[in-house]
Amino acid sequence: MNELIRVFKAGIFKDNPVFRQILGICSSLAVTNLLVNSFVMGVGLMFVTAFSSLTVSVVRMFTPKHIRMMVQTLIISAYVIILDIFLKAYFPALSKSLGPYVGLIITNCIIMGRAEAFAQNNKPFISFFDGLIMGLGYTLVLMA
């Protein structure tokens, strides 16, 4: 429980991805023209960060070091594609409004940074929680 509280405080305050780590600046500036765009982008990033961190943590012991970054990029890309398909199927107007920015989540340094720095070295549940909270920290900045 203490570890969850520590991860929560770090993701929201101490290591906020936008304010403290200066990550995700381009996408945060690009989609903040409407509150709904900011919210959808933030929730999408939460989804991708949480589930990619979970998956990276699960496969970390089976991934050779020399292809680790490629595997992480492939995992992140898969979740971004799922998000993009979901938005196009159920929220076509939002998907069109966000345009290419959903696809650019793949290159968002927050996700790759969490996969490399945290999920690669921690167990699946705490990695999932870290990804969720880092995404929440990003979302709160977008919504502010």
Distance, CA of 67 to CA of 48 (rounded, Å): 21
Give 105: exposed, middle or buried? Use CB within 10 Å, 0-12, 13-18, 19+. Answer: buried
pLDDT digits (tens, 9 = 90+) for 56-70: 999 999 999 999 999
Distance, CA of 132 to CA of 140 (rounded, Å): 12
Amino acid, res. 94:
L
Residue 97 structural domain: 2-143
Q: How many domains does the chain have?
A: 1
pLDDT band at 50 (very low <50, low <70, confident <90, very high): very high
Q: What is the pTM of this model?
A: 0.88
Of 2, 32, 5, 19, residue with least CA distance to 137: 19
Q: What is the mean pLDDT of residues 108-113?
A: 81
Of 37, 132, 42, residue with least CA distance to 91: 37
pLDDT band at 102 (very low <50, low <70, confident <90, very high): confident
